[in-house]
Amino acid sequence: ILDGSIPSTKVHEDEHCLAFRDIAPAAPTHVVLIPKEKAGMSQLSKATPANKEVLGHLMLVAGEIGRKECPEGFRVVVNDGVQGAQSVYHLHLHVIGGRQMAWPPG
């Protein structure tokens, strides 16, 4: 997706990250946000202090997308590892909203 070989519907792009619409949305709004830097970014649990700026940037962008697309509220999800339901091992955030979210998730 980053190199354009897989098509996506972009929502945001800057020098640090790319956000695009999920191809199998879990809610009316479902945007996936990925860092362009891959080093040490396969899982949140494997991030290091060197990734701090990128991780902070991802959270700020997730908030911007959420405010714009889901003014009544949204959820930001990071899946980590097998039991965290991570299926793609490139760290990514899901911005999900447009309907009432249930708790607990599962």
Q: Which residues are catalytic?
A: 92
What residues contact residue 1 under an 8 Å CB cut-off, 6+ apart?
8, 18, 20, 34
Report the C-alpha dihedral over residues 44, 47, 49, 53, rounded to 10 degrees: -60
